[in-house]
């Protein structure tokens, strides 16, 4: 074997590959850094770290072109200097001459597989975390800059926003907040599952509380001196305060299958609940199921205790409420809350007790019960909204104060909302149901979906059905994305090997042409192969075109391989 010749060729190939890759990577890394730099997310030192973190993530895009460039220049120079003719005259075949390029291509293939599956994901995460701001700060900053922000099913507007020093207390939650903000001139639009306006809330001022517990964070908003317009019944009511449902703050850095390691992808295939988007949808469905079951328990408690009254626990130790409602009703337009009615002279009565002694009694013609799930309390929280209410102190004889509408402090059931976990099949393996009852939030996605689809009463609830269908679609989409990424990474690594060989073979085939002309054809086919690979990824993520997408992913490699084999055949003929 002509080892001296092979070392000579490999030395030139590696040198050109390293130089061209370094130039392309540095140019692209600084181009990627322009946007976060212009948005003020990177300082001088952070910019250097961001560029260093970004370099490995760009190698997958750079190496095919750098390989084609190195293969073209090295073998074009050898052909121009008649070194290929000398090799052929000594009895070497074209295959033997191309062996160093094939060896380097195999090394690049293994290197690309290792980079894309084990190195790039960690560097991508480090780069994203470097520029991702805290989500609470991002919420406040966007309000300060643009005056409005879309936050899940809220649209929030504020004239002014500022952070407040510690000391502000949220009466709905007993624990101390980690951070507090004040909004001035506030409007909050609340949307339903179809994105339609459900209610419009305006207030002079709003208190925003951020709570932290066990690596989770929640946002509470309390509107003061507020007005609420209900789009369904056209009512416009004023309140001293309105507590909005708590929202869990998700990190701005989300899992993306494109930038997850090989081990992480296989772990997600076995357990989709570990994926950020699935986890969020699962929590959303679990919260909706828990709210539905809690509302049913509340209604059952009120209906079965009309003679004496249903007892609820207050948010402050020792506080409790006794509720008497002549009638209860679930509105068809808003099934996520319960309506309590007091027809004629009979009214809905809520008695507030401190350590078992009655203190205040509210008598209302109409009351609405909403359930807020999630938050640091980890149990359903009931919010009662009373309309046309008479507020009286039980210790003072006389007529009470007449109010158009009031919202009572949060209250809780005397028992937890628990269910029996259903038996499910995961990845073809039956999973027996664990003994006993558990909280709804402890159920896996598979158990939640089985519970909702198997229960006709739960499936009949449109909000639960929509959430279950979205969760099932997301899990199916995640499975397709994992398969797509594994195929895409293998195809990209194979493309690096093939385009290096393409540049070398075309240089031998078109030895009388200028190197730039040869590189143009190598570059063009590399572009086509990469475009086909990433276009196929988009097709494969659609359930209707999975097989077609996988075929398109590999079609780019097939095109380059066919071109290499065709030119080798033409060389052999000559």
Ramachandran angles phi, psi of 238, nearest 5°: -110, 145
Distance CA 513, CA 506 (A): 10
Tokens standing for residue 242: 């309105």
Handedness of CA 512, 516, 522, 525 (dihedral sign): negative
Ramachandran angles phi, psi of 90, nearest 5°: -80, 0
401 SS3 class: strand
- HSE at residue 348, side-chain half, CA atoms within 13 A, is 25
Distance CA 186, CA 170 (A): 18
Tokens standing for residue 415: 């028992």
Which residues, other chains included, contact 68 with Cβ-Cβ below 8 Å and sequence gap of 6+? 499, 500, 502, 503, 519, 522, 523, 526
Tokens standing for residue 455: 């229960």
185 SS3 class: strand
CA dist list (Å): 61 to 415, 479, 492, 495, 516: 57, 25, 9, 11, 21
Tokens standing for residue 186: 């506030």
Tell me the β-bridge partners of 182. Answer: 162, 207
Low-confidence residues of the chain: pLDDT under 70: 1, 39-42, 130-139, 141, 144-147, 165-167, 171-172, 174, 193-194, 214-216, 231-234, 249-254, 306-308, 332-335, 343-345, 374-378, 395-400, 427-428, 456, 574
- The DSSP annotation for 503-569 comes to HHHHHHHTTTS-HHHHHHHHHHHHHHHHHHHHHHHHHHTSGGGHHHHHHHHHHHHHHHHHHHHHHHH
Tell me the β-bridge partners of 411. Answer: 314, 382
The answer to whether the CB of 425 falls within 8 A of the CB of 268 is: no
CA dist list (Å): 328 to 58, 128, 331, 384: 61, 51, 10, 13
Distance CA 488, CA 482 (A): 10
Tokens standing for residue 400: 């009470």
Ramachandran angles phi, psi of 187, nearest 5°: -135, 130
Residue spans of alpha helices (H) in 227-360: 262-270, 276-304
Query: For the segment 453-462, what is each residue's pLDDT rounded down to a tens digit?
Result: 887 677 777 7
Measured in whole angstroms, how far is the alpha carbon of residue 497 from the centre of its chain? 35
Q: Which of 201, 108, 181, 95 minimizes the C-alpha distance to 138?
A: 181
Ramachandran angles phi, psi of 380, nearest 5°: -60, 135
- What's the pLDDT at 15? 94
- What's the pLDDT at 72? 92
Distance CA 514, CA 73 (A): 10
Q: Which of 391, 412, 427, 376 minimizes the C-alpha distance to 215?
A: 376
Ramachandran angles phi, psi of 155, nearest 5°: -120, 115
């Amino acid at each position: 074997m002509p080892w001296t010749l092979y070392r000579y060729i490999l030395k030139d190939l590696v040198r050109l590959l390293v130089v061209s890759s370094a130039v392309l990577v540095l140019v692209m890394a600084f181009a990627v850094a322009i946007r976060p730099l212009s948005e003020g997310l990177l300082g001088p030192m952070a910019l250097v770290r961001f560029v260093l973190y970004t370099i490995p993530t760009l190698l997958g895009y750079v190496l095919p072109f750098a390989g084609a460039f190195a293969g073209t220049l090295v073998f074009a120079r050898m052909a121009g200097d008649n070194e290929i003719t000398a090799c052929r005259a000594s009895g070497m075949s074209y295959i033997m001459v191309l062996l160093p390029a094939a060896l380097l291509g195999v090394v690049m293939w293994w290197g690309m597989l290792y980079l894309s599956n084990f190195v790039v994901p960690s560097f991508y995460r480090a780069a994203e975390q470097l520029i991702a701001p805290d989500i609470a700060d991002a919420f406040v900053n966007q309000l300060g800059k643009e005056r409005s922000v879309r936050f899940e099913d809220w649209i929030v507007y504020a004239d002014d926003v500022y952070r407040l020093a510690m000391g502000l207390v949220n009466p709905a939650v007993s624990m101390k907040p980690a951070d507090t903000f004040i909004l001035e001139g506030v409007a909050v639009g609340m949307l339903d599952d179809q994105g339609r306006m459900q209610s419009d809330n305006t207030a002079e001022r709003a208190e925003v509380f951020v709570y932290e517990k066990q690596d989770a964070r929640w946002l509470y908003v309390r509107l003061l001196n507020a007005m609420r317009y209900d789009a369904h019944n056209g009512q416009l009511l004023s309140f001293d305060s309105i507590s909005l449902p708590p929202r869990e703050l998700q990190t701005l850095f989300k899992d993306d299958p494109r930038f997850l390691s090989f081990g992480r992808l296989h772990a997600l295939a076995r357990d989709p609940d570990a994926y950020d988007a699935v986890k969020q949808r699962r929590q959303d469905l679990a919260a909706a199921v828990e709210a539905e079951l809690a509302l049913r328990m509340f209604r059952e408690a009120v209906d079965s205790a009309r003679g004496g009254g249903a007892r609820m626990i207050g948010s402050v130790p020792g506080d409790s409420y006794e509720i008497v409602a002549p009638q209860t009703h679930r509105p068809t337009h808003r099934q996520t809350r319960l309506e309590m009615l007091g027809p004629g002279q009979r009214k809905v009565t809520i008695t507030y007790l401190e350590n078992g002694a009655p203190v205040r009694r509210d008598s209302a013609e109409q009351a609405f019960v909403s359930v807020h799930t999630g938050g640091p309390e980890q149990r359903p929280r009931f919010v009662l909204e009373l309309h046309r209410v008479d507020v009286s102190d039980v210790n003072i004889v006389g007529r009470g104060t007449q109010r158009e509408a009031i919202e009572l402090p949060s209250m809780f059931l005397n028992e937890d909302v628990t269910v029996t976990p259903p038996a499910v099949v995961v990845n073809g393996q039956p999973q027996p149901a664990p003994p006993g009852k558990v909280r709804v939030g402890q159920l896996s996605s598979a158990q939640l979906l089985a519970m909702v689809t198997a229960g006709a009463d739960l499936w009949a609830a449109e909000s639960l059905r929509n959430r279950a269908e979205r969760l099932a679609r997301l899990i199916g989409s995640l499975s397709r994305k994992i398969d797509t990424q594994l195929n895409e990474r293998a195809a990209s690594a194979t493309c690096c090997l093939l385009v290096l060989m393409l540049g070398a073979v075309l240089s031998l085939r078109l030895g009388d042409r200028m190197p730039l002309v040869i590189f143009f054809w190598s570059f063009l086919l590399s572009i086509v192969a990469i475009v086909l690979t990433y276009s196929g990824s988009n097709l494969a993520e659609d359930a209707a075109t999975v097989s077609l997408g996988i075929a398109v992913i590999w079609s780019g490699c097939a095109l380059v391989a066919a071109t290499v084999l065709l030119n080798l055949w033409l060389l052999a003929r000559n």
